[in-house]
Amino acid sequence: MKTVVTFFRSSLGKKCIMAITGLGLFVFVIGHMAGNLQIFLGPDRINSYAVFLKSKPGLLWTARIGLLLMAALHIGSAIQLARINRLARPSPYGNHKVVAASYASRTMLMSGLIVFAFIIYHLLHFTLAIPEVNLLSKSPDFPHANFLDLRDATGRPDVFRMMVRGFSNPFVSGFYVMAMGLLCLHLSHGLSSMFQSFGLKNRRIGWLLDSFAILSAGLIFIGNCSIPIAVLLGYGK
């Protein structure tokens, strides 16, 4: 037990935690995007999907709590790893130059913290529907107290209209697109680092794994941002 604790307190252990939680978060992002993209299949499809999720509250809340826990462990390990590296080199280089380091790798911690803040906001906005967070709750053409009041013709939670209403606000959509940009910038380097931590990268396939990381990040950005952009252009209104 002591050996395990010692390992996870080391820089290598923290990299392992980041890799494992990063993989979990990546799988969640893919699943979440696939669910949200059902908005393009019409109100009935995405509202049925929402009913399916709500019919399994235990699984749903386990996923939500797991998401927050993984994000906290991921960012906490990153902060601790940065501290270990800083203590190992207390004096800065006299002539510091960035060599072979991408912008994504140099902003990993900051982008991660901003994305975590966005996850909290997103949960408050769409999942818990806190009126103070919902910028449309005070709008004269939106008399409902929050998104939870929206129902379709069959009495189901109207997730289609909730998403359309929510992303109709340019500030909400702009913040969402910005957060997706930071998330995908984070992923473009994070996935590559994950493969490295798992010992999968080598000279022969390293470039292929790096390309997969960049391509995955780009597709996630396009897929997620297509929803607010489509809504702002008039979809669903």
133 pLDDT exceeds 60? Answer: no
Beta carbons of 169 and 138 less than 8 angstroms apart: no
Question: Residue 115 maps to which CATH number?
Answer: 1.20.1300
> Residue 121 is encoded by which pair of tokens?
């906001």
Residue 151 belongs to a domain: yes
Supply the pTM of this predicted model.
0.77
Residue 237 belongs to a domain: no
* Amino acid in the structure at residue 66: G
> Residue 9 is encoded by which pair of tokens?
């307190």
Alpha-carbon span 178 to 167, nearest angstrom: 13
First to last CA, the chain: 58
Span 145-190, pLDDT tens digits: 455 667 888 888 888 988 888 888 898 889 889 888 888 888 888 8
Residue 16 belongs to a domain: yes
Alpha-carbon span 140 to 182, nearest angstrom: 33
Beta carbons of 104 and 181 less than 8 angstroms apart: no
Alpha-carbon span 19 to 11, nearest angstrom: 12
Q: Specify the number of domains making up the chain.
A: 1
Beta carbons of 67 and 119 less than 8 angstroms apart: yes
Residue 141 belongs to a domain: yes
Whole-number pLDDT of residue 182: 84
Span 179-225, pLDDT tens digits: 888 888 888 888 888 888 888 888 889 899 999 999 999 999 999 99
**What confidence category does residue 137 fall into, taking pLDDT thresholds of 50, 70 and 90?**
very low
**What confidence category does residue 91 fall into, taking pLDDT thresholds of 50, 70 and 90?**
low
Residue 188 belongs to a domain: yes
Which residues form the domain of 10? Answer: 2-232
Angstrom CA distances, 120 to 6, 125, 171, 177, 202, stand at 31, 9, 17, 16, 37
Whole-number pLDDT of residue 143: 42
Whole-number pLDDT of residue 222: 96
37 pLDDT exceeds 80? Answer: yes
113 pLDDT exceeds 90? Answer: no
Choose the weakest-confidence range: 64-68, 75-79, 84-88, 90-94: 90-94
